[in-house]
Amino acid sequence: MSAPIDRPRRLRRSAAMRALVAEVHLRVDDLVAPLFVREGIDEPQPIESLPGVVQHTRESLRAEVAELKALGVKAVILFGVPAEKDAVGSGAYDPDGIVQVALRDLVSDHGDDMVLMADLCVDEYTSHGHCGIVVDNGLGALVVDNDATLEIYARAAVAQADAGAHVVAPSGMMDGQVAVIREALDDAGHTEVAILAYSAKYASALYGPFRDAVDVTIADDGDRKGYQQDHRNVREAMREVELDIAEGADMVMVKPALAYLDVISEVANSVDVPVAAYHVSGEYAMIHAAGERGWIDADAVALEHLTAIKRAGANIILTYFTRWFAERGVEGV
Ligand code: PBG
């Protein structure tokens, strides 16, 4: 038996050599920290299913963002938990709604030095937990009225932009939402405010801990399968992405991330705008839960997963590991 001539192992012999030939580098600049701010609380509230993540008070949110900035993080995305919910989710567009007041705080603290994103949806604000205005479909079931919901999204976008958001991120998966939001922003003079569209957002079982974080229960044991995507489909994701870009999306997103690396890859290969991926609450929680039991090395798995998302083609990753990664400061295990 003759010895092999090609020896890929030559390039793996030391950490220095592996760093030299690494194809993908995870950087703090790639990451966006999702943050929750809750109206009417005096102390931050831990979220049991999202270890290390809290529902912030206005003040603790300011402190957290200042600390993230000191660690080099350049972007955050805000989610609001209102004190009162109602049928149309009016807290999402109220100028004094919790995300709007939090945005004003952060703009006064950081101006343009931190990219301030706002998730644009109403599920955190509605009493029924759906991402829009619900109507009875005549058969006793609740369905979301797409076009009535668009008006609410337009108002929310303008309220967020008025409050200083640099990026609004519609996550409700209503058809036509990006076009309506772009038009409303432009009409209000917010031509500089960008849209990060949750374009290919799947009706995933991985959002469970997030629903704890924003106190959302969908009425009547409902789900979002009537508006979010079916996990069996990838062509459908391409169609959603194309529509969003045609409607004016500045960046597009695939969500969740790990089970959809093929979607990320296909999107990244076909668009000319930045591609984001959301490493969602369930993905974070699974790593923590298995790590706590000693079944996996949570830090190593987190790095492996985030790097894989980038390798698949995402330029931007929304992840609850942002602070952890920024504190650690290195991409190697
Ligand atoms: C909708 C929204 C959701 C998430 C982000 N935006 C929940 C949903 O669609 O049910 C989930 C994020 C996560 O799981 O980390 N406002």
- Contact between 279 and 324 (Cβ < 8 Å): no
281: Cβ below 6 Å to ligand 1?
Answer: yes
- Contact between 260 and 317 (Cβ < 8 Å): no
Q: How much distance in Å is there from the Cα of 276 to the middle of ligand 1?
A: 15
- Tokens for 207, please give them: 């959002």
207: Cβ below 6 Å to ligand 1?
Answer: yes
Q: What are the tens digits of pLDDT across the range 274-295?
A: 999 999 999 999 999 999 999 9
Among protein residues, the one with the nearest Cα to ligand 1's atom 6 is: 171
Among protein residues, the one with the nearest Cα to ligand 1's atom 10 is: 207
204: Cβ below 6 Å to ligand 1?
Answer: no
54-56 vs 45-46, strand pairing mode:
antiparallel
**333/330 Cα distance (integer angstroms):** 8
**229/288 Cα distance (integer angstroms):** 27
Q: Which candidate, 100, 88, 89, places its Cα nearest to that of 37? A: 100
Closest ligand 1 atom number to CA of residue 281: 15
Q: What are the tens digits of pLDDT across the range 307-332?
A: 999 999 999 999 999 999 999 977 65
Which band of pLDDT confidence, cut at 50, 70 and 90, is reported for residue 224? very high
Cβ density class 30-54: b for 16+ within 10 Å, e for less: bbbbbbbbbbeeeebbebebbbebb
Element (H, E) at 308: helix 298-312
Q: Report pLDDT for 332.
A: 57
Q: How much distance in Å is there from the Cα of 207 to the middle of ligand 1?
A: 6
In the DSSP assignment, the letter for residue 252 is: E
202: Cβ below 6 Å to ligand 1?
Answer: no
Q: Which candidate, 247, 298, 304, 308, places its Cα nearest to that of 277? A: 308
83 burial (CB, 10 Å; 0-12 / 13-18 / 19+) is exposed
- Contact between 105 and 62 (Cβ < 8 Å): yes
Between 331 and 261, the higher pLDDT residue: 261
Identify the bridge partners of residue 252 per DSSP, sorted by sequence position: 197, 275
223 backbone dihedrals φ, ψ, rounded to 5°: -145, -175
Closest ligand 1 atom number to CA of residue 209: 14
Q: How much distance in Å is there from the Cα of 195 to the middle of ligand 1?
A: 17
Among protein residues, the one with the nearest Cα to ligand 1's atom 14 is: 207
- Tokens for 210, please give them: 């997030």
Closest ligand 1 atom number to CA of residue 279: 15
Q: Which candidate, 273, 323, 264, 275, places its Cα nearest to that of 74? A: 323
**232/240 Cα distance (integer angstroms):** 15
325: Cβ below 6 Å to ligand 1?
Answer: no
**How many CB atoms are closer than 10 A to CB 289?**
14
Q: How much distance in Å is there from the Cα of 144 to the middle of ligand 1?
A: 16
Q: What is the mean pLDDT of residues 25-32?
A: 97
Q: Which candidate, 262, 263, 251, 259, places its Cα nearest to that of 316? A: 251
Catalogue the active-site residues: 201, 255
Closest ligand 1 atom number to CA of residue 201: 9
Q: How much distance in Å is there from the Cα of 2 to the middle of ligand 1?
A: 56
Query: How does the average pLDDT of the chain come out, rounded?
Result: 96
Does position 164 have pLDDT exceeding 90, yes or no? yes
Count of residues for the chain? 333
Which band of pLDDT confidence, cut at 50, 70 and 90, is reported for residue 139? confident
